[in-house]
Amino acid sequence: MSQTAGNLTGLFDLSGKIALVTGARTGIGRALAETLAEAGADIVGLGSRAMPETRRAVETRGARFHEIVRDLEAGGDFAAMLAGITEDFGAPDILVNNAGIIRRADLIDFTEADWDAVMAINLKSVFFLSQSVARDWIARGIRGRIVNIASLLSFQGGIRVPSYTASKHGVVGLTRLMANELASKGITVNAIAPGYIETDNTEALRADPVRSRQILERIPAGRWGVPDDLKTAMLFLAAPASSYVTGAVVPVDGGWLAR
């Protein structure tokens, strides 16, 4: 390997780091956990159910895996959860706020229950988990990385997903606020805004031939994204060398927003 190649590899080396990834059981969360493990980080995967596939994928890449089964909608004491992770596995250096749900209904029919469930997971948990992690990092002097998963609907209104749209607008706002307050502590806060990705959340859209065709016609790349398309953005924002990148939102959308 050339000296230049070696230096470039080192820019993205996460050996010795621990990453806490929420929503790590499937889809984007699993892909991001795999990415961080490939770069050398050990993984704490948080999900609403057990995630043997994620464990297998992480451990196959030579990294350790620690599982937290927790319903983020219920909230709770994130500081106590973090203390338990630190005692059992080690203190996280990277937080990926990926967990999210979506509920679809026409505006006039949308229920308060669906509003509250989406906001609790997609926005409230992002803030209070980040708050707990940031407090710990500041106390320990850890120059950590927070990466939030936003959406194209952080910038657009969409249809039939009012709470999802509101929550993802909120994720971008929180990303920028947290970046402003934590930069002086050496902590960066950024977001990735995925486009239309093949996940459980988009299954209904992909199964609808009319909506699927409409979406594909709008995407310059001409295809749905896959979770692996987010890997390079994740690695960039988590990298030790990205200390001067904060408050950014990186779209990974096949050109959708440029259309």
How far is residue 181's CA from residue 20's CA, in Å, rounded to a whole number? Answer: 21
Among 78, 89, 155, 164, the one annotated catalytic:
164
Question: In the chain, what is the greatest distance between 2 CA atoms, to the nearest angstrom?
Answer: 61
Task: Provide the 10 A C-beta neighbour count for residue 4.
Answer: 8
Clarify whether 196 is annotated catalytic: no
Tell me the backbone φ, ψ of residue 237, rounded to 5 degrees: -75, -25
What is the C-alpha to C-alpha distance for residues 14 and 171, in angstroms, rounded to an integer? 25
SS (H, E, C) the chain: CCHHHHHHHHHCCCCCCEEEEECCCCHHHHHHHHHHHHCCCEEEEEECCCCHHHHHHHHHCCCCEEEEECCHHHCCCHHHHHHHHHHHCCCCCEEEECCCCCCCCCHHHCCHHHHHHHHHHHHHHHHHHHHHHHHHHHHHCCCCEEEEECCHHHCCCCCCCHHHHHHHHHHHHHHHHHHHHHHHHCCEEEEEEECCECCHHHHHHHHCHHHHHHHHHHCCCCCCECHHHHHHHHHHHHCHHHCCCCCCEEEECCCHHHC
Would you please indicate which residues are annotated as catalytic (active-site) residues?
164
